[in-house]
Every structure is written in C-alpha cells, then in structure tokens.
C-alpha cells in the first residue's frame, strides 16, 4: 500500500534522499514537499558562482519542475510549515494547507546567524543563504557603492569576491586574527588575505562590530574601537544555526540540532530529520558530503532497509573563488603529540602544511597548489603509515617511489577507491570504469552518469585529468568542441577547410579531413550536407540519406510515425479557393487534425506517409507549394495587414512580407529561419522576437535581427533603418547569406550573432555596401538551384521509394 | 522458419532503409554504405519511433524521434541508452532479399 511521505524543506539533502528513495522503492510513497522558498531544488553551493556571474540560476537547478511531475511528487512552493501535529500526524503551512503523513522528514536546514547589534534590522542588511539573498546582493551591486561583509569565513569571502567582481568596493570584517580560521592555519590565512587585498578587497581582522548605523537605511558600520566604515550594503555571514524551531514546538528532542540516531530517526518513530538541521552523534554539519551521507541513510531506512548507519568523516574544504587554490582537511592545531611538515614558496605563493600524529596524517592545509589534496585525503582516511615516505611526503604523490615527474602521475597513482568528488562520494575507480563502459568523452556526460563534479565543481580538474588518463590524447578539455565523435575538428574548422580545400562531396570531406568513422553519424552528416549545399550550390548533389527524415520526405514526422503537412501561405494571406482545396483534401484523406500555426498558416496532421504524394498532388492543383515547415531553412514571413487596411499602418507590411517570402523561399539555412514584418511600431506581427524582423515606420523600415522566442526568449537587435522596400530586401537577404555562410549547423541566428558580435554584423551589412552586395549576389545565385518545389517534384515521381513499403507480407501469402 | 521474398537490394538506397509490412507489424530493412543488409523491428525501444526513417551510419541507425542509436547487428541501443529491438533473419541471395518469419505468424489466418 502506498504510504504518505511528507517532507518539510526542499534543499539538497532531501532532494538527494528522494533520488535514492525513488531508486530503492519506487511507488512506495506518495510524496508531498513543502518548500518555504518559492522554487525547485537547486545547488546551493553554486550560489557564489551565480553571484560572481560565472553561472546563471538555470544552470544550478538540480530538479526542474518536470522532475517532480515525472515522479508524481506534489511540491508546494513558497509554503512554510508552521505546525506539526504529531498526534493527528499532520502538518500545516502558512497558507493554510494541511497534509497528513505516515512518515515525516524534517529538512528545514539552517538559518543565518544575525549579530545582535543595534541597526541589524536596517534595510540594506542582508544574509547569504538562498537565491533571494543573491538577487538582493546583485541589485545592490548595481550601485557600484561600498559594501561591508561581516565574517571572514568561507561564505563571507565568497560573497566578498562576488560583490567585488560585480564592481562594489568591498571591506571584509573578521573578528579573529586571520581569515577562515576554522579551516586555515594563520600562515595560510595570511596568504589568503594578501591575495584578496591584491584584488582590491579590504580586509580588517580582529574587527568587532559594535553597531550598524544609518538613518532609515544602512550607512555604515561602527567598530568597537570607534571607527566608522561607510557602506550601503552589509552582508552578514557570521555563521549558521540549525533551524529547529518547528521541531522544538512539536516536542521533538533538540540539542544544537534536531537529535537523530544513526539511522536519522528523531525521538518520534514516524519522523526523520536530515540536513543542516539534524544533529547526529553530537555533531551538526554544514558541508554537502555528510549531508548527502545522511540522505543515503535516511532513504535506506524509509525504503524499509535496516542497518544503514551514518558514519562521520572529515570533509575537505575548498573556497569557490576563481583563481584561489585552497584546500583544508582535518585537524591542524598545534599539540605536543603532533609533528608537522611545512613547505613554503613565497614567490610562488605556495604554502603546504601536513599535521602528523603517530606517523599518520591528521590534518592538511594547502594554499596556492592543491593538486595533491585528494592524495593526502586518501592517506588520512586510510590511516596510512607514512614513515617510509616522510622525507618527500610534502612534495606530493608524484615524488614518491621514484615515479616520473608528470602532472598526470599524481592522479594516475591514486588508488581506485580514492575519493575524487567529495560532495557526491564518487571514487576514482567508479569514474574510470564508467568512462570506459559507457564510452564517455565529454565532461557533461561524466557528470550525468557518475554525478562526479556535478555539485560544487571544485573537483572538475581532477575529473578532467581522469578523463585524459582514461581516454588518452583524444580528450583535450581546452580544445575546440569537436563536431561529433567522428572528428576532432570543430564546426568552424570544417567549414573553413571545405572552402579552402575545395571539398565538394561528403566522402571527400571525410577522406581529406581524416574522419574517424567510415560514414559519419547522425550528427555530422546533416551538418556536412548543409555546409556543402551552402558553399557549392551549383556543384553539390544534395545527399538525401544525410538529411533528417523531415527534410528527406518534406513533411514533419509525428510521435506516432504519421506526418504533418503545411502548405505555404504567402505572408499568411489566403483566399476561399485555397481554403476550399484544403477542406477537400482534409475530407478526402480523412485528416484527423487541422490546426492554425503560429506562423500564420494551416497544419494538416496525422497523414500516413504513403498518402503524402497524393495529398501534395491535390494541394498542388490549387497552387500550393511546400511551406517547408520541416526545414532548417526559410519558414514563414509573418505579417500584419499594414497600410492597406490598418488605420495605424505606415507601410504595406503584407506586401513586403510576401515579397520577402517569394524571394527567399526554398533557401536552406543553418537552423530554421522565421521572419516577420509589422506595419507600425505596435508590432502586431511580433517582429521583435523573430530571427529577422521589420518594423515599418513613417520614415522607412527598421530592420531587426537575432530575436528568439523558443527555448530562449530574447528581443531582437536593431540592424539599421533603411528608406525603401528594395533596400530592406537587400539588407535582409545579405544578412541571411552572411549567417548561412558563417554559422554552425543548428545554430540559430541569435546565437551566431552573439558569438561573432553585433557590431561586426552591422559593419559588414550596413557599413560596407560592397560586402552587402556580394552577399546578396551569392544568395541570389544559390536560389537558382534551391527554388524548386519539393512537393511537385515528388508528385511527379522523384524518390518514389521513400513513400512506399518495400513489400507487404500478408497472412495468406505462401512461404517459399 | 519461413523465408519471404521482399525484393531486391537495389530497391533500398545506400545508407537507407525501406519498410516491410507484416501481420505482426513493420520490419525495417537497411542497406549500409558497405552494401550489407539488415532487418530489425521498425519500432524504437524508447518510444516506438519508426527506425526505418532514421539516418543510417556504419552498422547503426539513429531514431528520428529522439536520436537513440540502434545497432543493426544486435538490435541493441548504443551509448548511454538501454533497450533492444528484435533482429530479423535476412538472406541475401545475389541481391534478392528474403526475411525469415515464424510459421506461427503465417498460419495465423
């Protein structure tokens, strides 16, 4: 029977727990999640890269909305649970939703600690905990004014570096004598301080905050010694406290956190707790690796398995500030029973310290050069006796046992069970075997299959080294992304070489450019076919077997294997004769769905492949040609009614749209190309989110390009204003040809434009009449070969084999 | 096992496919660049896409619906995906092609 599992909180720990639980016991629970934050589960560790601008929020989402739908999980976003009724077994949210549970998981995380000083509630004082905080900081950073970060720990320094990177003048206040004193010894803390100061961040240690001052909003910080530090933004990053209020009110056992046993169960047998709010074995945790361990244990118990038990382990700390290498692990306090080994290289900014006890490593601090962190971690974890290599230990793994001095050697020499990704507990052996078994060649693939480097990303370098070790020279992370696995060349190189070497067939390209497969794959063949069609319009014979099915049969394949057909309707204009012909076709072929498209034409869906030529024959009689709704090519030119009808219209937008479509139809482009012409700036044809758009104005035609309204949404950029329809056409055609000649296959115009720069496009198309004319002429030449209606060709018998089965074997047919 | 004539190898384009209708569903017959011929069920193990409409490369086909790559020799999905389609025995007698169907299917009527 399905039990009801309710989870309070939707952070990384419960997210991971659910992944394990869905794998171990799919369908055992009906799951409901209450998330006080109004969003899905995202990678909180990566907030610093979002703050610094190295990543977008979308890139750090762990579970998108689709994941919850796919697994039938109910997620209440923005619902904070305000009460747990343990007798009735219900929880109630601040929006009044009450949900009953059989089992309850509390994962309320932690709350930032707020210094109890005067002024702590002033507007402009924020903490650093979730995406809202990051957005508040980003907003404040636009002012480019002064910010103070209170707290020189991991979070505070990441916030400081992010804000400085965004152009703010940042001061860090830290109460202890050196930065990150819980993770670093004073020497490394000093080096870190110098590095940050070198980046323009001011650091004040031994700085006690007395008050936050300001009249109605933050104006500065007053220190104990009376100094005032001006600031318009104050970020408090002085630590976190387990969030236990809800559990306490429910009467659960509480100490520093919610007390749980080693199976993550609270003092109530129906309630579990995990994450930063849980206290296990007298410890509370804030780093992700132990939290994921809790998730594993809790999932195992919820799935009905006994015996899983949380085991404490030290987790290395790394600072996620680009360009700062820092690694800290274990215990590094001085002591009579301890020895230490220290290496300093002042000019290189390197400091390494190993703390030993009884010939075993118990602590490590590395600054400036951290490649051996994983190895030291492994030695510590396994309690390896290091007396044999004591002399050379500090120099790292590459120096042990006379191994050659090779940057890869350290990674190569790691044992298979050495942990590479601390966040996800992935060891070297698992990564290497997965790369080999699954034939992985890209970092993203390794992340998808193993989860290594998929959380904080600080082990990315190690994972890439493992890929290089496993794949040999074929993996080069710095290289251009190859077109596909058939070649090492990127799209741009291939395009350049096709022209330079005069390669005019797919076999010639594969031979001359040393393709690694005999006849390519479904990624490279369509790309090569397009490049050759574009570059040699008169010489190249289109290879239909290298075209995607839609372009091979000139219709759009649907999920059930039937096809849809869209006749061209110039500028979206039609008449009674055309509509009557469409109606007749629909009746004759019993077409199940007729649908008006977003591009102002009519889609006929559910046509059997064998019927396609007959459907086209009937449509052709009414004057229709293919709308090429399947093509990486010119699709539609959407129009409004313009000056002929509209009381606001400034130009004949319908006429111009039809003229453009009649000029450009049939052309193949790197990706689909959708145009629109609006008759006035009210923009009823929505031209400003198209690949190319025209806004008619009194003084002429404003040409736009590089919009998007699909996976991405993006308004267009203005190419320029021209006076006449002829000029508008010439500019649009020239721009299209430039895009055709330069873009990578499947690259939409807005991505191409972003890559090569808007100014360069304007320079060539607007600023250089000679270039513009040359592009225009090449397009016109290419159209001589492209403007052949593929439907009428097939009606007259071309590619007949495509539309008929090879044979039909019936029941009655005799066997040979 | 019964052999049924389905036509000639020349009926299939190089690096292409045709389908054969049978009482138990469609069978896709492929011809590779090397002139090898294979027959498998015309039904991708992922979402049932018509494999005969895919792009043929080496001894594999990429499904037109969601780009799964299926081995023509084994019927198994290649790469990270897992799944398989049935392979159908095929005889190439000097260009004349025959596929093997179980007698059960033929006797069904």
Q: Where are the domains of chain B?
A: 2-107
Residue A42 pLDDT > 70: yes
Q: Which residue's structure tokens are 């399905």?
A: A2
Considering only the beta carbons, identify the residue of B16, B21, B32 that sits closest to A809.
B21
Q: Report the complex ipTM.
A: 0.90
Strands of the sheet containing A98-100, edge to edge, are: A81-85, A90-93, A98-100
Residue A446 included in any domain: no
- Per-residue pLDDT tens for A154-211? 889 999 998 988 889 999 999 988 898 888 888 888 888 988 998 889 999 999 999 9
pLDDT of residue A590: 96
Residue pairs spanning A and B at CB distance below 8 A:
113
B67 to chain A: closest CA residue: A522
The predicted model gives A483-502 an average pLDDT of 88
The strand order across the sheet containing B2-8 reads: B2-8, B96-101, B90-93
Q: Among residues 87-106 of chain B, which lie with CB inside 8 Å of chain A? A: 98, 101, 103, 105-106
pLDDT of residue A479: 57
Q: How far from A590 is each of A582, A593, A605, A632, A753, CA to CA, in Å?
A: 12, 9, 10, 29, 44
Name the token pair of A386.
Answer: 């290091």
Interface list for chain A against chain B, based on CB atoms closer than 8 Å: 438-439, 445, 448-449, 517-522, 525-526, 544-550, 552-553, 557, 559, 561, 801, 805-813, 815-816
| Domain containing residue A676: CATH number | 3.30.413.10
Number of domains in chain A: 5
With respect to residue A395, please indicate whether it lies within any of the assigned structural domains. no
**Alpha carbons A238 and A394: distance in angstroms, whole number:** 33
Percent of chain A scoring above 70 in pLDDT: 97
Average pLDDT value for chain A: 90
**pLDDT, position A711:** 81
Kindly give the confidence (pLDDT) of every residue in chain B, 109 residues in length, as a single tens digit, with 9 standing for 90 and above.
Answer: 789 999 999 999 999 999 999 988 899 999 999 999 999 999 999 999 999 999 999 999 999 998 899 999 999 999 878 899 999 999 999 999 999 987 544 433 3
H or E element that contains A785? helix A769-786
Percentage of residues of chain A with pLDDT beyond 90: 59
State the SS3 of chain B: CEEEEEEEHHHCCCCEEEEEEECCEEEEEEECCCCCEEEEECCCCCCCCCHHHCEEECCEEECCCCCCEEECCCCEEECCCCCECCEECEEEECCEEEEEECHHHHHCC
H or E element, residue A240: strand A240-242
Residues A654 and A774 in one domain: yes
Tokens (6 digits) for A262: 């080693």
Which tens digit of pLDDT belongs to each residue from A620-676? 999 999 999 999 999 999 999 999 999 999 999 999 999 999 999 999 999 999 999
Provide the 8-state DSSP code for A668.
B
Q: How confident is the model at residue A499 (pLDDT cuts 50, 70, 90)?
A: confident
Residue A703 falls inside a structural domain:
yes
A598-634 confidence digits (pLDDT tens) = 999 999 999 999 999 999 999 999 999 999 999 999 9
Q: Which residue has the tokens 């794949």?
A: A471
Checking if the pLDDT of A405 tops 50, the result is no
State which residue of chain B sits closest to A546, comparing Cα positions. Answer: B55
**Nearest CA to A800 among A510, A588, A553, A605?**
A553
Q: Are residue A210 and residue A106 in the same domain, yes or no?
A: no
Residues A524, A530: Cα–Cα separation, whole Å: 10
- How many other C-beta atoms lie within 10 A of the C-beta of residue A93? 18
* Chain A residues inside the 8 Å CB shell of B62: 521-522
Q: Which residues of B touch A547 (CB under 8 A)?
A: 55
User: pLDDT by residue (tens digit) across A540-560?
Assistant: 999 999 999 999 999 999 999
Q: Give A-chain residues touching B76 at CB under 8 angstroms.
A: none
Contact B98 A816 (CB under 8 A): yes
Q: What's phi and psi for A603, nearest 5 deg? A: -105, 130
On whether residue A321 sits in a domain, the answer given is: no
Average pLDDT value for residue range A365-383: 86
- Separation between Cα atoms, residue A666 and residue A792, nearest integer Å: 13
Q: How many Cβ atoms sit within 10 Å of the Cβ of residue A542?
A: 14
Mean pLDDT in residue range A736-758: 93
A676 and A782, same structural domain?
A: yes
A534 pLDDT band, cuts 50/70/90, is: very high
Residue A708: pLDDT over 90: yes
Displacement of CA A246 from its chain's centroid (Å):
35
Instruction: Please check the confidence at residue A814 and state whether its pLDDT lies above 70.
Output: no
Core vs surface per residue A468-490: b (16+ CB within 10 A) or e:
bbbeeeebeeeeeebbbbbbbbe
CATH number at residue A622: 3.90.480.10
- Give the integer Cα–Cα distance in Å for A737 and A782: 10
Q: Which of A483, A506, A557, A805 is the best substitution to test chain B (most B C-beta atoms within 10 A)?
A: A805
Domain identity same for A251 and A287: yes
Q: Where does the pLDDT of residue A447 fall: very low under 50, low under 70, confident under 90, or very high at 90 and above?
A: confident
Give A767's DSSP letter. Answer: I
Residue A505: domain span: 491-547
Q: Which of helix, strand or coil describes residue A518?
A: coil
Selected residues 51-70 of chain B with any CB under 8 Å from a CB in chain A: 53-58, 62, 64-65, 67, 69
Residue B7, CB-side half-sphere exposure with 13 Å CA sphere: 22
**8 Å CB contact of A545 and B16:** yes
Between A449, A525, A526, which is nearest B80 by CB?
Answer: A449
Do A510 and A652 have their domain in common?
no
- Is the separation of the CB atoms in A509 and A494 below 8 Å? yes
Evaluate whether residue A340 is within a structural domain.
no
Q: Which two tokens stand for residue A328?
A: 């800290």
- Please check whether residue A325 lies inside any domain of the structure: no
Question: How far is it, in rounded angstroms, from Cα A605 to Cα A338?
Answer: 78
Residues A572 and A673 in one domain: no
Strand A74-77 versus strand A61-63 pairing type: unpaired
Helices A154-165 and A131-141 pack at an angle, to 10 degrees, of 40
Sign of the alpha-carbon torsion through A433, A436, A442, A448:
negative
More confident residue, A526 or A347: A526
Q: What is the pLDDT of residue A324?
A: 82
Phi and psi angles of residue A599, each rounded to the nearest 5 degrees, phi first: -100, 20
More confident of the two residues A374 and A323: A374
Residues 6+ apart with CB under 8 A from A629: A556, A564, A566, A597, A599, A601, A603, A635
Please say if the pLDDT value at position A402 is more than 70.
Answer: no
Whether the predicted pLDDT of A816 surpasses 80: no
Token pair of A716 as six digits: 């267009």
pLDDT category at A373 given cuts 50, 70, 90 is confident
- In this prediction, residue A404 carries a pLDDT of 44
Do residue A519 and residue B15 have CB atoms under 8 angstroms apart? yes
Q: For residue A585, name the pLDDT band (cuts at 50, 70, 90).
A: very high
In a domain, A324, yes or no: no
CATH class, range B2-107: mainly beta
Nearest to A805 among B16, B18, B69 (CB): B18
CB A221 within 8 A of CB A173: yes
The yes-or-no verdict on residue A811 having pLDDT over 70 is no
pLDDT for the residue numbered A167: 86
Same domain, A15 and A98: yes
> Does residue A315 belong to any structural domain of this protein?
no
Q: Report the Cα A313 to chain-centroid distance in Å.
A: 31
How are strands ordered across the β-sheet holding A326-330? A317-318, A326-330, A360-367, A350-357, A339-345
For the segment A461-473, the average pLDDT, to the nearest whole number, is 83
**Contact at 8 Å (CB) between A235 and A149?**
yes
Residue A53: predicted pLDDT: 79
B-chain residues within 8 Å CB-CB of A808?
Answer: 20-22
For residue range A765-782, what is the model confidence (pLDDT) as tens digits? Answer: 999 999 999 999 999 999
CB contact under 8 A, B62 and A807: no
Instruction: Give pLDDT, residue A476.
Output: 66
A438 contacts in chain B (CB < 8 Å): 79-80
Instruction: Report d(CA A405, CA A618) in Å as an integer.
Output: 75
- Contact between A517 and B58 using a beta-carbon 8 Å cutoff: yes
- Mapped onto helix, strand or coil, the DSSP state of residue A589 is coil
What is the reported pLDDT for A58? Answer: 84
- Pick from A587, A729, A710: nearest CA to A657: A729
Smallest Cβ–Cβ distance between B4 and the set A546, A561, A816 belongs to A816
Residue A442: band (very low, low, confident or very high) from pLDDT cuts 50, 70, 90: confident
> Which of A451, A556, A815 is most worth mutating to test chain B (most B CB atoms within 10 A of its CB)?
A815
How far apart are the C-alpha atoms of A445 and A434, rounded to whole Å?
10
Euclidean distance between the first and final Cα of chain B, in Å?
17
Residue A207 shares a structural domain with residue A258 = no
């Amino acid at each position: 029977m399905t039990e009801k599992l309710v989870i309070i909180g939707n952070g990384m720990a419960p997210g991971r727990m659910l992944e394990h639980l869905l794998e171990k016991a799919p369908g055992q629970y009906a799951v409901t999640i209450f998330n006080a934050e109004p969003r899905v589960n995202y990678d909180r560790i990566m907030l610093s890269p979002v703050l610094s601008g190295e990543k977008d929020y979308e890139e750090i989402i762990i579970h998108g909305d689709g994941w919850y739908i796919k697994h039938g999980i109910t997620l209440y976003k923005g619902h904070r649970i305000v009460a747990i009724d343990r007798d009735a077994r219900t929880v109630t949210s601040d929006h009044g939703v009450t949900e009953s549970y059989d089992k309850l998981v509390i994962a309320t995380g932690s709350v930032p600690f707020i210094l109890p000083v005067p002024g702590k509630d002033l507007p402009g004082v924020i903490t650093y905990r979730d995406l809202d905080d990051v957005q508040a900081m980003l907003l404040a950073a636009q002012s480019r004014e002064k910010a103070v970060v209170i707290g020189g720990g991991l979070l505070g320094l990441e916030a400081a570096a992010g804000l400085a990177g965004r152009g703010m003048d940042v001061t860090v206040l830290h109460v202890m004598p050196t930065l990150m004193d819980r993770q670093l010894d004073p020497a490394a803390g000093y080096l870190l301080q110098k590095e940050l100061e070198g980046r323009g961040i001011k650091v004040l240690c031994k700085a006690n905050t007395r008050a936050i001052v300001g009249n109605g909003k933050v104006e500065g910080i007053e220190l104990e010694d009376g100094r005032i530090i001006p600031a318009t933004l104050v970020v408090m990053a002085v630590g976190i406290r387990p969030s236990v209020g809800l559990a306490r009110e429910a009467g659960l056992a509480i100490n520093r956190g919610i007390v749980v046993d080693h199976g993550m169960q609270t003092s109530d047998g129906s309630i579990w707790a995990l994450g930063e709010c849980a206290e296990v074995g007298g410890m509370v945790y804030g780093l992700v690796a132990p939290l994921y361990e809790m998730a594993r244990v809790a999932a195992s118990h919820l799935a009905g398995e006994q015996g899983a038990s949380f085991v404490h382990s030290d987790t290395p700390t790394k600072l996620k500030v680009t360009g700062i290498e820092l690694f800290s692990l274990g215990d590094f306090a001085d002591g009579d029973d301890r020895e230490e080994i220290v290496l300093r290289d002042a000019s290189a900014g390197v400091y390494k310290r190993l703390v030993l006890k009884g010939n075993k490593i118990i602590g490590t601090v590395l600054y400036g050069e951290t490649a051996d962190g994983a190895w030291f971690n492994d030695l510590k974890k396994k309690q390896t006796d290091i007396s044999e290599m004591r002399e050379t230990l500090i120099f790292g793994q590459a120096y042990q046992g006379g191994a050659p001095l090779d940057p890869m050697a350290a990674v190569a020499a790691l044992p298979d069970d050495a942990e590479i990704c601390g966040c996800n507990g992935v060891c070297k052996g698992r990564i290497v075997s997965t790369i080999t078994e699954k034939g992985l060649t890209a970092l993203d693939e390794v992340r998808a299959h193993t989860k290594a480097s998929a959380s904080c990303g600080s082990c990315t370098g190690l994972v890439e080294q493992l890929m290089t070790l496993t794949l040999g020279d074929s993996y080069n992370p710095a290289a251009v992304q190859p077109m596909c696995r058939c070649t090492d060349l990127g799209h741009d190189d291939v395009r350049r070489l096709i022209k330079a070497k005069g390669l005019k067939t797919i076999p010639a390209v594969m031979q001359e450019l040393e393709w690694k497969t005999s006849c390519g794959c479904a990624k490279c063949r369509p790309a090569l076919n397009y490049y050759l069609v574009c570059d040699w319009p008169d010489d190249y014979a289109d290879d239909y077997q290298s075209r995607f099915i839609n372009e091979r049969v000139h219709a759009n394949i649907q999920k059930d294997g039937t096809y849809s057909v869209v006749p061209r309707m110039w500028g979206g204009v039609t008449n009674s004769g055309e509509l009557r012909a469409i109606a007749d076709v629909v009746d004759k072929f019993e077409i199940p769905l007729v649908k008006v498209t977003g591009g102002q034409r009519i889609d006929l869906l559910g046509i059997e492949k064998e019927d396609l030529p007959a459907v086209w024959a009937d449509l052709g009689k009414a004057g229709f040609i293919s709308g090429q709704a399947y093509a990486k090519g010119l699709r539609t030119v959407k129009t409004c009614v313009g000056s002929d009808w509209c009381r606001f219209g400034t130009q004949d937008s319908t006429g111009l749209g039809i003229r453009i479509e009649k000029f450009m139809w049939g052309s193949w482009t790197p990706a689909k190309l959708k145009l629109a012409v609006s008759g006035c700036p009210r923009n009823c044809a929505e031209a400003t989110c198209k690949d190319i758009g025209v806004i008619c104005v009194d003084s002429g035609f404003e040409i736009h390009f590089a919009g998007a309204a699909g996976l991405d949404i993006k308004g267009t950029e203005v190419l320029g204003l021209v006076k006449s329809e002829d000029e508008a056409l010439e500019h649009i055609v020239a721009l299209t040809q430039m895009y055709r000649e330069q873009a990578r296959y499947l690259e939409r115009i807005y991505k191409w434009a972003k890559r090569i720069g808007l100014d360069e496009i304007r320079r060539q198309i607007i600023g250089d009449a000679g270039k513009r004319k040359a592009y225009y002429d090449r397009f016109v030449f290419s159209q001589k070969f492209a403007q052949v209606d593929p439907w009428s060709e097939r009606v007259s018998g071309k590619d007949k084999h495509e539309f008929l089965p090879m044979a039909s074997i019936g029941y009655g047919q005799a066997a040979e | 096992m019964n052999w049924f004539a389905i036509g000639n190898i020349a009926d299939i384009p190089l690096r292409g496919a045709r389908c054969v209708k049978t009482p138990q569903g469609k069978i896709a017959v492929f011809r590779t660049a090397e002139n090898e011929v294979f027959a498998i069920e015309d039904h991708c193990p992922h979402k049932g896409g018509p494999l005969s409409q895919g792009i043929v490369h080496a001894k594999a086909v990429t499904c037109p619906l969601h780009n799964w790559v299926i081995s023509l020799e084994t019927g198994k999905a290649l790469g990270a995906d897992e799944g398989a389609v049935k392979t159908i025995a095929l005889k190439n007698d000097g260009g004349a092609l025959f596929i093997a169907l179980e007698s059960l299917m033929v006797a069904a009527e």
